[in-house]
Amino acid sequence: MSDDKRPEWFDSSNHEGFASSLKPGVEFAADRTKESTSKFVKKHGETISVQELKKGILSGDRARLAKGITLIESNASHHFNHAQELLHSVLPHTGRSIRIGISGVPGAGKSTFIETFGTYLCERGHKVAVLAVDPSSSINGGSILGDKTRMEELARNPRAFIRPSPSEGTLGGVHRKTRETMLLCEAAGFDVILIETVGVGQSEAMVRSMVDFFMLLVLTGAGDELQGMKKGIMELVDGIVVNKADGDNLPLAIRTKSEYSRMLHFLQPATKGWAGKAYTCSALTGKGIPELWGVLTDFSETTKKSGVFQERRRMQAKEWLYSLMDHQLKMMFYKNEAIKELLPNLENQVMSGNKTVTAAVKQAFQAFMDTLE
Ligand SMILES: Nc1nc2c(ncn2[C@@H]2O[C@H](COP(=O)(O)OP(=O)(O)OP(=O)(O)O)[C@@H](O)[C@H]2O)c(=O)[nH]1
Ligand SMILES: [Mg+2]
């Protein structure tokens, strides 16, 4: 592949000085907030090799893990090879975790739940990594750091690691970053991975495609809520948790639980051999949290025994391969200079009825193929 045919992230113009080492922070902290960037630069101005990063991550060093993730999240093309080298080197140490997706409408209590659930798991000796996929932040191009403050106790816990949403980038954007971040966390010894996403309809399927157990957090009053909920989401879930089952809300929460349970009963299970149910809990008081962990352990044991767990991960890897390939193809096509030049013209011709869509597509692909020769 010659330079001029490479997609954007393959840009090699910036490679000097990065043959075997990279400068963290200064070079790849561009997508963090102003405050964290400056701290990062000040504290970590030294040069660090991929090997050192790997060693640090495998020994569970959280600062090194954070640096590794920042490398993966970098949109700078010259970090791509280092990031992939790092990932490749830790790959044998990944996978030993339960990956849990947590979704729910804004205000359902996801962050509060993760704070309580995560703290409970840390107390029981687990190491918990919390990642977020936030569709709104990828649209704005920013990253939301607010959740760290809503998970104050967990953020301080030495057995926990919280990473806010990555910002959008090339090559699979948020999807790629979250997946690869998850692998780094596993290599660093985190055995419970919680991936939070706001349930607004775009990110659930993405999160479903990278987790073992997909949990939907809901509020009381199933009927009302279901109207605003994308119908398809119910088909993705392994369990529904009616949160805020406390105080005056408790009787309604219990009724809501039965309604959801009934609905799930009529749906095809998202995971073969696992009948999804509804549960109640209070993220505020902690009631129901140990029972939920019991459900997850049961899920893990049942699906590992039947082989469904392993098979899903294999299929997820395959899907991931194709999704990345799709993305890459699209990037190569739309970033191609010939295509960029041709498209406005083709668009006009199609819109004015002077050319059929099929002919326009054919012409575009011909132009694209010509540049590859
Ligand atoms: N009574 C009660 N309130 C809760 C419970 N869980 C969360 N809350 C409250 O509900 C509000 C929203 O909680 P969050 O944890 O921020 O909800 P979220 O789903 O993370 O919201 P977004 O991040 O905006 O999507 C907060 O005021 C919480 O204190 C609970 O179990 N019981
Ligand atoms: Mg939240």
Q: Whose CA is nearest to atom 14 of ligand 1?
A: 109
Task: Walk me through the domains of the chain, giving residue ranges and CATH numbers.
Answer: 3-92 (no CATH), 95-305 (3.40.50.300), 317-372 (1.10.287)
Q: Which of 152, 147, 177 is nearest to 164 (CA)?
A: 147
Atom from ligand 1 closest to the CA of residue 196: 20
Amino acid sitting at position 64: R
**Residue 289, token pair as written in the block:** 């949290």
Average pLDDT, integer, range 106-112: 89
Amino acid sitting at position 29: A
Q: How many CB atoms lie within 10 A of CB 90?
A: 19
Is residue 28 within 8 A of residue 79, CB to CB? The reply is yes
Residue 198 — pLDDT band, cuts 50, 70, 90?
A: confident
Residue 16 — pLDDT band, cuts 50, 70, 90?
A: very low
Predicted confidence (pLDDT) at residue 18 exceeds the cutoff of 70: no
| Sole residue written with tokens 């002077």 | 354
d(CA 21, CA 101): 35
| 109 within ligand 1 shell (Cβ under 6 A) | yes
CA of 110 to the centre of ligand 1 (A): 6
| 257 within ligand 1 shell (Cβ under 6 A) | no
111, 196, 248: which to mutate for ligand 1, most atoms within 8 A of CB? 111
- Identify the weakest region by mean pLDDT among 33-47, 51-65, 75-89: 33-47
pLDDT of residue 74: 84
| Sole residue written with tokens 């920042």 | 70
| 150 within ligand 1 shell (Cβ under 6 A) | yes
d(CA 219, CA 233): 15
| 110 within ligand 1 shell (Cβ under 6 A) | yes
| 244 within ligand 1 shell (Cβ under 6 A) | yes
Q: Whose CA is nearest to atom 25 of ligand 1?
A: 106
Predicted confidence (pLDDT) at residue 303 exceeds the cutoff of 60: yes
Atom from ligand 1 closest to the CA of residue 147: 23
d(CA 137, CA 146): 12
Q: Is 300 exposed, middle or buried (0-12, 13-18, 19+ CB in 10 A)?
A: middle
Predicted confidence (pLDDT) at residue 81 exceeds the cutoff of 80: yes
pLDDT of residue 193: 98
Q: How many CB atoms lie within 10 A of CB 72?
A: 25
Predicted confidence (pLDDT) at residue 32 exceeds the cutoff of 60: no
CA angle 190, 193, 198 (to 5 degrees): 150
Predicted confidence (pLDDT) at residue 355 exceeds the cutoff of 80: yes
Ligand that comes closest to the CA of residue 103: 1
Average pLDDT, integer, range 190-203: 84
Q: Whose CA is nearest to atom 10 of ligand 1?
A: 109
| 137 within ligand 1 shell (Cβ under 6 A) | no
Q: Whose CA is nearest to atom 6 of ligand 1?
A: 109
Q: Which of 73, 156, 146, 142 is nearest to 110 (CA)?
A: 146
Q: Is 324 exposed, middle or buried (0-12, 13-18, 19+ CB in 10 A)?
A: middle
Amino acid sitting at position 288: G
Predicted confidence (pLDDT) at residue 331 exceeds the cutoff of 70: yes
| 243 within ligand 1 shell (Cβ under 6 A) | yes
More confident position, 363 or 25: 363
Residues pairing with 231 in the sheet = none
Q: Whose CA is nearest to atom 13 of ligand 1?
A: 109
Q: Whose CA is nearest to atom 28 of ligand 1?
A: 109
CA of 87 to the centre of ligand 1 (A): 35
pLDDT digits (tens, 9 = 90+) for 33-49: 333 332 233 344 567 89
Q: How many CB atoms lie within 10 A of CB 235?
A: 14
How far, rounded to the nearest angstrom, does the alpha carbon of residue 224 sit from its chain's CA centroid? 28
